[in-house]
C-alpha cells in the first residue's frame, strides 16, 4: 500500500509558542512574582526560589522557553540535571554558569608559579586535601633497641664479674677474701663501664639522649600519618568562593547586569534518581545562601518539577519504619514549603482548548490536505474516551506521543497490500497505549469464545472475571462502541487481531484451533472462525493452511472423514467449500482404501461420513467393495 499521507513525526522539544492558551499565563505569573520580589525593599533578605509544579509533559519546559523568549536568552541560565547525571554537581554547575556568563576563558587572579589560571582551569583541576591524623604515632624502634642492648650488656658485665672472681680469687690472701667479695665486683663493673664509656662516648651519648627523650616523651621521634585525597568535587567553602568569583568577574567584564533579574533554572530534576534529586536540592539551597552572602540580589531560581515525584523523593529521607505515612506526608509537605516560598502549578489541560491543539498536531503529522475532518474527529473522540477510561493525565506531550505512535503504526502497514483503515489503526494504537493489559486479556478471551458479545457478557456477568488479570472489558467496549458507529463488529475485531499479531493474513491465527476443532468435530468453534473471517477466499486460505500443516489428512482416514463432516455440518457449506476440496478428498481416500492396513483403522464414529462418500462416489464405492471382498477372502484362507 502506498501512503496517501505525507507523514511527519512531531518534535518533543519545548516551544515558545503557547498553542493551548495556558502556558503564557503561567509565564506571566512567574514574571510578576520576580518583579514584585525585586522591587521589595527586603529583596536581599528573601529566598528567591520558585517551584514550577506540573506532571511530565505538562509544558514546564514550554513555560521556560516563553520566559527566555520574552526576557532574553542572557537573562536565563538553564542547568539540565538530567544531562549532568553522574557528574559532580557543584563543579558541573559552576562550569556551566561560567560558560553562560562568558567568563570561562577569563583570567583568574590566583597565581601559580609565573603563570596565571583561567577560570576554566581552576574549575576543572583536581582538589587536593592533605589530612594529618589526630593521633600521631611515636617511632619506638630505636629506644626499644637501646633498652635491649643495655639489658644484654648488664648480663654480660655480671657474667664477666663472676669469671674474674673465679680467676682472681685463688690469688687473694685468705684474710682479704671477705673484703674482696664485698667490694671487688662493684669496682670491676665501674672500671669496665668507664673504659666502655671512654671508648664509645659519642655512641653512648646518643643512646642516653634517645632513651631520655623516649622515657620522658620529650622531643620524641614522631612520625605523623598523612592522607592525601584527590577529589573532583568542591567543598562548600570552595564552591561559595568560586561562585562569587564567577559573578564578580562577569560583573567586572560587563557581562552580568546586577540591576535586572537573572533566572537560574534547574531543569529535568524529576528525571533523575532520588539521590541526585536530593543532592540538587542541596545545591540549590547552598547556591541561594552563597548568593545572599555575596549581595547579588538579582538572582532568582526556577525549579520545574513534578510535585508528586518530588514528594515521593523527599519521603525517602525518613525510613518507613520510623514513622507512619501521615508523618512522612507532613514531612514532605513541610520540606517543600521550606524550599519553595513561591509555587506555581500547571493545571490539567482538559479544560483548555486542547482539542484544537490535537487537530493542529494530527494535521501536521498526516498533512492537512490529506486527512479528512471526519477522520480527525473520529480519532480525537477515541483518544478522548481512552484518556477518560485509563485515567491518564492529559498533557501536551501525551497528545504528541499518541500521534507519533499512530504515525509509527501507519508506517509499518505501508508495506502491506491490505492495510487497516487509519481510523482502525488509531483504535488499536489507543487501546495498546492506554489499556494494554485489558487489550491482551480481551484478545485472549476473544480467542476462546470467538465472539465479542460473549466476551462482554461473560465478564459483565461474572464477578470472578472482573478481578482477573484481564479485568473488566467495559472500558474497551466503550471505546469500541465509538468505532462501531462507522465499522461493523467483524471489521473492528479483525483489525484488532491483525494489528495485535502484526499480520495481514488473519486466518493464520486460527490454523491450530481450526485443526483441533475438526479433530474433535467442534462445529461451534468452526462456525465462529468462519463467521469472523467472513470471506470465502480467507476461509479457503485457512483450510489450505490447515491441511498443509498436517500431512495426516492424506494418510489418516478418520481425520479425512472428520474434514468431510465439517464441510457438511458447519457453516463451511454456506461458502460451498467442499467442492473446492472434493478432488483432494477422493484422491486421498483412494490411496487409503488401497491399503488394507489403513482401511482397517476406520473408526465406527466416522461410519456415516464414510457411507456418504460411498453413496456419492461410484468409484470409491467399487473400490471399497473390491477391497472388502479381498479382506474376506484373506480371512477365509487364514481360517
Instruction: For residue range 114-152, list pLDDT tens digits in order.
Output: 556 788 888 887 654 444 444 444 455 555 666 666 667
Cα separation, 511 vs 489, whole angstroms = 22
Mean pLDDT of the region 38-51: 75
Q: What is the chain's mean pLDDT, rounded?
A: 81
Mean pLDDT of the region 600-606: 84
Kindly state the DSSP code that residue 215 receives in the 8-state scheme: H
The answer to whether 444 touches 470, Cβ cutoff 8 Å, is yes
The angle at the Cα of 223, spanning 222 to 227, to the nearest 5 degrees, equals 145
pLDDT at 470: 44
pLDDT at 284: 92
Mean pLDDT of the region 452-476: 56
| Highest mean pLDDT pick, 160-164, 232-236, 445-449, 550-554 | 232-236
Cα separation, 426 vs 163, whole angstroms = 116
The angle at the Cα of 567, spanning 564 to 572, to the nearest 5 degrees, equals 160
pLDDT at 637: 57
Higher pLDDT, 627 or 211: 627
Mean pLDDT of the region 36-57: 80
pLDDT at 547: 87
pLDDT at 219: 45
In the structure, what pLDDT confidence band is assigned to residue 175 with cuts at 50, 70 and 90? Answer: low
In the structure, what pLDDT confidence band is assigned to residue 28 with cuts at 50, 70 and 90? Answer: very high
Confidence check: pLDDT of 298 > 80: yes
- pTM (two decimals): 0.69
Mean pLDDT of the region 84-95: 85
The answer to whether 59 touches 23, Cβ cutoff 8 Å, is yes
146-150, 214-218, 392-396, 574-578, range with the lowest pLDDT: 214-218
187-191, 480-484, 543-547, range with the lowest pLDDT: 187-191
With both helix axes pointing from N to C terminus, report the angle between 422-434 and 373-390 in degrees, rounded to the nearest 10: 10
Higher pLDDT, 491 or 109: 491
Mean pLDDT of the region 432-453: 80
Residue indicated by cell numbers 541560565: 77
The answer to whether 423 touches 483, Cβ cutoff 8 Å, is yes
Cα separation, 472 vs 455, whole angstroms = 10
Task: Work out the percent of the chain whose per-residue pLDDT is above 70.
Answer: 74
Higher pLDDT, 140 or 504: 504
Nearest to 307 by CA among 281, 278, 336, 342: 336
pLDDT at 18: 72
In the structure, what pLDDT confidence band is assigned to residue 468 with cuts at 50, 70 and 90? Answer: very low
Cα separation, 500 vs 270, whole angstroms = 33
Mean pLDDT of the region 401-419: 92
Confidence check: pLDDT of 253 > 90: no
Cα separation, 475 vs 389, whole angstroms = 6
**244, HSE (Cβ side, Cα atoms, 13 Å):** 14
185-199, 376-390, 503-517, range with the lowest pLDDT: 185-199
| Highest mean pLDDT pick, 37-41, 258-262, 590-594, 616-620 | 258-262
How many other β-carbons are positioned within 10 Å of the β-carbon of residue 332? 21
Mean pLDDT of the region 187-212: 64
Confidence check: pLDDT of 474 > 60: yes
Mean pLDDT of the region 526-531: 87
Confidence check: pLDDT of 170 > 60: yes
pLDDT at 446: 74
Confidence check: pLDDT of 285 > 70: yes
| Highest mean pLDDT pick, 22-31, 34-43, 624-633 | 22-31
Cα separation, 248 vs 254, whole angstroms = 10
Confidence check: pLDDT of 359 > 70: yes
Confidence check: pLDDT of 220 > 50: no
Cα separation, 626 vs 44, whole angstroms = 114
In the structure, what pLDDT confidence band is assigned to residue 459 with cuts at 50, 70 and 90? Answer: very low
pLDDT at 22: 86
In the structure, what pLDDT confidence band is assigned to residue 217 with cuts at 50, 70 and 90? Answer: very low
Confidence check: pLDDT of 406 > 60: yes
Mean pLDDT of the region 454-478: 58
Q: CA of 330: how far to CAs of 327, 337, 363, 399, in Å?
A: 5, 10, 46, 34
- Please give the grid coordinates belonging to residue 556: 489418516
Beta bridge partners of 229: 129
Task: Report residue 105: phi and psi, to 5°.
Answer: -95, 0
Q: CA of 563: how far to CAs of 282, 589, 597, 601, in Å?
A: 76, 12, 21, 16
Amino acid at each position: 500500500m502506498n501512503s496517501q499521507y505525507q507523514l511527519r513525526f512531531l518534535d518533543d522539544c519545548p516551544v515558545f509558542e503557547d498553542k493551548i492558551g495556558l502556558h503564557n499565563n503561567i509565564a506571566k505569573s512567574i514574571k510578576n512574582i520576580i518583579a514584585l520580589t525585586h522591587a521589595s525593599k527586603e529583596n536581599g533578605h528573601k529566598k528567591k526560589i520558585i517551584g514550577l509544579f506540573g506532571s511530565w509533559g505538562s509544558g514546564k519546559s514550554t513555560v521556560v522557553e516563553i520566559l527566555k523568549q520574552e526576557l532574553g536568552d542572557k537573562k536565563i541560565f538553564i542547568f539540565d540535571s538530567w544531562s549532568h547525571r553522574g557528574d559532580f554537581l557543584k563543579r558541573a554547575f559552576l562550569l556551566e554558569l561560567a560558560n553562560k556568563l562568558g567568563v570561562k576563558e577569563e583570567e583568574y587572579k590566583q597565581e601559580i608559579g609565573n603563570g596565571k589560571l583561567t577560570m576554566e582551569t581552576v574549575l576543572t583541576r583536581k582538589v587536593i586535601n592533605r589530612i594529618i591524623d589526630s593521633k600521631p604515632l611515636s617511632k619506638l624502634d630505636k629506644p626499644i633497641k637501646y633498652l635491649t642492648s643495655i639489658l644484654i650488656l648488664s648480663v654480660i658485665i655480671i657474667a664477666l664479674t663472676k669469671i674474674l672472681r673465679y680467676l682472681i680469687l685463688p690469688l687473694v690472701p685468705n684474710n682479704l677474701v671477705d673484703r674482696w667479695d664485698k667490694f671487688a665486683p662493684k669496682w670491676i663493673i665501674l672500671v669496665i663501664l668507664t673504659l666502655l664509656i671512654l671508648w664509645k662516648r659519642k655512641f653512648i651519648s646518643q643512646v642516653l639522649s634517645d632513651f631520655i627523650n623516649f622515657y620522658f616523651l620529650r622531643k620524641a621521634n614522631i612520625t605523623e600519618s598523612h592522607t592525601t585525597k584527590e577529589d573532583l568535587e568542591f567543598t562548600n567553602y570552595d564552591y561559595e568562593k568560586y561562585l562569587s568569583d564567577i559573578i564578580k568577574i562577569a560583573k567586572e567584564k560587563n557581562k552580568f547586569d546586577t540591576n535586572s533579574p537573572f533566572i537560574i533554572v534547574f531543569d529535568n530534576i524529576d528525571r533523575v534518581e532520588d539521590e541526585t534529586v536530593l543532592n540538587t536540592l542541596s545545591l540549590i539551597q547552598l547556591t541561594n545562601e552563597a548568593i545572599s552572602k555575596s549581595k547579588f540580589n538579582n538572582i532568582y531560581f526556577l525549579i520545574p518539577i513534578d510535585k508528586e515525584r518530588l514528594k515521593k523523593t523527599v519521603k525517602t529521607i525518613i525510613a518507613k519504619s520510623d514513622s507512619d505515612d501521615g508523618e512522612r506526608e507532613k514531612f514532605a509537605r513541610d520540606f517543600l514549603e521550606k524550599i519553595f516560598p513561591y509555587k506555581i502549578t500547571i493545571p490539567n489541560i482538559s479544560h483548555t482548548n486542547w482539542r484544537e491543539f490535537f487537530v493542529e498536531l494530527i494535521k501536521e503529522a498526516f498533512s492537512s490536505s490529506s486527512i479528512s475532518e471526519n477522520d480527525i474527529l473520529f480519532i480525537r473522540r477515541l483518544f478522548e474516551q481512552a484518556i477518560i477510561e485509563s485515567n491518564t493525565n492529559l498533557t501536551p506531550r501525551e497528545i504528541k506521543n499518541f500521534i507519533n505512535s499512530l504515525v509509527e503504526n501507519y508506517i509499518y502497514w505501508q508495506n502491506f497490500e491490505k492495510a487497516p483503515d487509519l481510523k482502525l489503526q488509531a483504535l488499536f494504537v489507543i487501546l495498546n497505549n492506554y489499556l494494554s493489559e485489558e487489550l491482551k486479556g480481551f484478545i485472549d478471551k476473544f480467542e476462546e469464545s470467538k465472539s465479542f458479545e460473549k466476551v462482554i457478557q461473560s465478564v459483565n456477568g461474572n464477578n470472578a472475571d472482573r478481578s482477573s488479570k484481564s479485568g473488566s472489558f467495559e472500558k474497551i467496549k466503550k471505546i469500541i462502541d465509538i468505532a462501531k458507529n462507522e465499522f461493523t463488529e467483524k471489521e473492528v475485531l479483525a483489525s484488532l487481531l491483525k494489528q495485535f499479531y502484526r499480520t495481514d493474513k488473519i486466518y493464520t491465527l486460527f490454523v491450530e484451533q481450526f485443526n483441533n476443532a475438526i479433530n474433535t468435530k467442534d462445529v461451534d468453534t468452526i462456525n465462529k472462525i468462519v463467521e469472523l473471517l467472513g470471506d470465502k477466499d480467507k476461509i479457503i486460505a485457512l483450510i489450505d493452511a490447515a491441511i498443509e500443516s498436517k500431512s495426516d489428512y492424506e494418510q489418516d482416514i478418520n481425520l479425512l472423514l472428520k474434514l468431510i463432516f465439517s464441510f457438511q455440518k458447519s457453516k463451511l457449506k454456506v461458502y460451498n467449500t467442499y467442492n473446492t476440496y472434493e478432488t483432494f478428498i477422493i484422491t486421498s481416500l483412494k490411496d487409503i482404501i488401497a491399503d488394507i492396513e489403513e482401511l482397517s483403522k476406520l473408526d465406527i464414529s466416522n461410519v456415516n461420513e464414510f457411507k456418504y462418500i460411498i453413496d456419492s462416489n461410484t468409484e470409491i464405492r467399487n473400490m471399497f467393495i473390491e477391497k472388502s471382498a479381498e479382506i474376506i477372502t484373506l480371512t477365509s484362507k487364514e481360517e
